[in-house]
Chain A
Amino acid sequence: MVLNQFLLLAAALFCIGVYGVLARRNGVMVLMSVELILNAVNINLVAFAAFTNSIAGEVFALFVIAIAAAEVGVGLAIVLLIYRNRKSIDLTEVDLLKG
């Protein structure tokens, strides 16, 4: 197998995730797109681990999975709080810090 086929797949997944983060208005859907981005990074880490025959990339992929789980927990709590305060999770309406 060619190394680049994994890296290009990860790049495509990353770009789809970036599009989702920028184009979505729903808070939960933005968090889903962030998950796509994190998974693209994980594919890169594991592909380089297989390429260099070292285990470190896989260990860091496991760390990224743990951090992603924590991120979803806190992110969904924040979205829930926004919903409770404003009765909507439309991110374009959350502009209190806008000058």
Chain B
Amino acid sequence: MNLLALSLPAVLAQSDSGDLLVAQNIAFGIIAATMLFSAWRVVSTNNIVHAALYLVIALAGVAAIFILLGAEFVGVTQILVYIGAVVVLFLFGIMLTRARLGDVESVDHENRLIAALTAVLLAVVMSYALIDSFGDTRIDIETPSTTQAVSDSIFSDYIIPFEAVSLLLLAALIGAIVVARREDGS
């Protein structure tokens, strides 16, 4: 079943493609505003548990953007891996390190003005470069890419990188266990 058919743009697909484009742009605007707000809260809130929960919203927004772009398999993987696994791992990390909650001095650096300056400068440079080089290049998605196409590509063209990534994942998990293990057994 095609996930794009469930998303907001395709509800209006019966009408002509102009309406579809408007619906896609409205969906994009809502998703983008939600994502940017929650991403900002991730880096600005003083409560570390709230930061992890805002991270869930930002990651779900990224998954929605993937589905809007017709990459349904990547979108589903994003939800499974990030919201299902990574955020839970973060919550475990918060729990195990018993971070002090709501303590302003303990979460933010004293030189965060310089950090903000760096980020703003980077944003200006990147936005200028992007607008300069791509302008209003259009992107049209006729059909969403199927899971079959993705898996065909992984298991033919990219089989060696795929095996390397699986080995790296195994090594990283063993490494994480070895690093986090207590010295006196168990």
Contact = CB atoms under 8 A, between A and B. Distances in A.
Q: Please determine whether chains A and B interact with each other in the same assembly.
A: yes
Interface of A: 1-9, 11-20, 22-29, 31-33, 35-36, 39, 42-43, 46-47, 49-51, 55-56, 58-59, 61-63, 65-74, 76-81, 83-84, 89-90, 92
Contacts, number: 249
Given A4-B134, A11-B123, A83-B97, A55 B81 contact: no
Nearest to B41: A16
Tell me whether chain A's interface is mostly helix, strand or loop, or mixed: helix
A14 B99 CA distance: 26
Nearest to B107: A26
Nearest to A83: B97
Nearest to B91: A28
Contacts of A2: 136-139
B11 interface: no
A46 B71 contact: yes
Contact of B119 (A3, A16, A58): A16
A58 to B, nearest CB: 5
Contacts of B66: 42-43, 46, 61
B139 A50 contact: yes
Chain B contact-residue range equals: 35 or more
A22 B116 CA distance: 8
A16 B62 CA distance: 14
A31 B131 CA distance: 30
Interface centre among A19, A49, A51, A71 (most CB of B within 10 A): A19
Contacts of B180: 76-77, 80-81
B122 A18 contact: yes
Interface centre among B28, B85, B99, B157 (most CB of A within 10 A): B99
B12 interface: no
Contacts of B78: 42, 65
Interface centre among A8, A39, A80, A90 (most CB of B within 10 A): A39
Nearest to B172: A70
B169 interface: yes
Nearest to B115: A22
A28 B69 contact: no
B131 A90 contact: no
A36 B137 contact: no
B3 interface: no
Given A3-B134, A22-B119, A47-B139, A58 B74 contact: yes
B35 A28 contact: no
B175 A62 contact: no
Interface centre among B21, B114, B118, B172 (most CB of A within 10 A): B172
